[in-house]
Structure 1
Amino acid sequence: MSTHLAALPYRHVLTLPAMPSAVRTARETAELALMEWGISPRHPTIGPALLILSELVTNSIRHAVVLSPQVTVIFAASEDCLAFAVHDRHPYQPTLYGAATGPGRGGLATVMELTLGLGGTAVVRGDADGRGKSIWITLPL
């Protein structure tokens, strides 16, 4: 699996208002981009990846909308790797790896169970100004 995002030849960036309709738009845009890049929607990673994406966009809208009226989704891929990020301008950075086993077991637990189950990685990257973050998911194809 490629681990250097700069080396991924396919990229797409989508910025949406932080509204419930953004979840559907992000998912549909991801599906179109993947098809354009020649990645089959029947690939066993794609269904779970779209669920992960939907959960992350939902979380961003639900928890960050007060400080972040927009959410940005970044998609990238190569022949053997799919990566995507959901970015908002809320400073809170959730603990991802505790989510799968910790109390509450909400959307982030689902994200982490699917990501780890597919052999992928997840990371939270804070903005340079400390006022936002991106949650990056990388999955092997």
Structure 2
Amino acid sequence: MSSVPLEKLPHRHVLTLPSRPAAVRLARETAEQILIEWGIGLRHATVDPALLILSELVTNSVRHAAVLSPQLTVIYAAGTDSLAFAVHDRHPYQPSLYASVTGAGSGGLGTVMELVLGLGGTARVRGDADGKGKSIWITLPL
């Protein structure tokens, strides 16, 4: 799948949350609500894996970035044939996403990447301009 420029996705929603465990549930519930609003049924084959990916990424931010990032931001976007979302925090560490597929003990990121690749999606880490944070963007076909 070629990566769709995010600017071309007509649906957008941004959610900023405290970097606490409750953020995982809130990010997932918000995703379910906006997907319904955007006309993407929760029974669509991409939705359950997308929600799992989102939950893993938010969990990683809460576990590993909260010390430097008291808040995290989730950006949701969708178009007619793609769903994209990002989890942003202000921790400078940028994981190697594609290496996590083959790495031993890669845990949640390994699972994320197996799901993304299995769905024909893409994943990218984008560092903040100041080098003190990053976003992990996932794009999945619908």
Determine if the TM-score, normalized by the shorter chain, exceeds 0.5.
yes
Unaligned runs of 5+ in 1: none
Match of 2:49, SS state, is helix
Task: Give the stretch that moved more between structures: 99-108 or 6-15.
Answer: 99-108
Percent identity of the aligned residues? 76
Q: How does 1:15-54 map to 2 (within 5 A)?
A: 15-54=16-55
1:98 is matched with: 99
| C-alpha displacement of 1:18 | 0.3
Q: How does 1:72-111 map to 2 (within 5 A)?
A: 72-111=73-112
Q: What's the TM-score, normalizing by structure 2?
A: 0.98
For residues 49 and 32 of structure 1, what CA distance do their matches in structure 2 show?
14
For residues 33 and 7 of structure 1, what CA distance do their matches in structure 2 show?
18
For residues 125 and 10 of structure 2, what CA distance do their matches in structure 1 show?
22
**How many residues are matched?**
141
Unaligned runs of 5+ in 2: none
2:14 is matched with: 13
Match of 1:122, SS state, is strand
For residues 57 and 135 of structure 1, what CA distance do their matches in structure 2 show?
10
| C-alpha displacement of 1:105 | 2.6
Matching of residue 113 in structure 1 with residue 89 in structure 2 = no
Q: Describe the superposition over 1:63-122 as per-residue Cα deviations: whole angstroms up to 9, x where unpaired.
A: 001100001000000110000000000000000000011011300000000000000000
For residues 28 and 82 of structure 1, what CA distance do their matches in structure 2 show?
16
2:58 is matched with: 57
For residues 66 and 5 of structure 2, what CA distance do their matches in structure 1 show?
30
For residues 119 and 72 of structure 2, what CA distance do their matches in structure 1 show?
25
For residues 15 and 24 of structure 2, what CA distance do their matches in structure 1 show?
12
Q: What's the TM-score, normalizing by structure 1?
A: 0.98
